Amino acid sequence: MEISVGAPWTAEDLVASSDWLQRAAAQKVTSRNALAVLATKGRTRRVRNAAARGLAQLDD
């Protein structure tokens, strides 16, 4: 997962990725940009909610 190692990535790549990858990223990634993309454009409600929770935790 390029996001977790700091490699370049695009929002389009993340949005086009599999449900599994989006779900895993939403739960493990600490990139504010990636979480924001997933919170708004994630494929499933589960992904969007997990990403929104991740963003909220970063704000704490």
Cα 43 from Cα 59, distance rounded (Å): 24
Instruction: Using the structure block, give the residue that is written with the tokens 């494929």.
Output: 43
Q: How far is CA 36 from CA 6, 12, in A?
A: 16, 13
Cα 56 from Cα 17, distance rounded (Å): 23
Region 23-44: what's the mean pLDDT?
95
Q: Kindly state whether residue 36 falls inside one of the protein's structural domains.
A: yes
Specify the number of domains making up the chain: 1
Parent domain of 26: 10-59
Region 16-37: what's the mean pLDDT?
94
For residue 19, is pLDDT > 90? yes
Q: Do 29 and 36 contact (CB within 8 A), yes or no?
A: no
Determine the pLDDT at residue 60: 78
Q: Kindly state whether residue 45 falls inside one of the protein's structural domains.
A: yes
Q: How far is CA 15 from CA 49, 59, 60, in A?
A: 15, 23, 26
For residue 26, is pLDDT > 90? yes
Q: How confident is the model at residue 38 (pLDDT cuts 50, 70, 90)?
A: very high
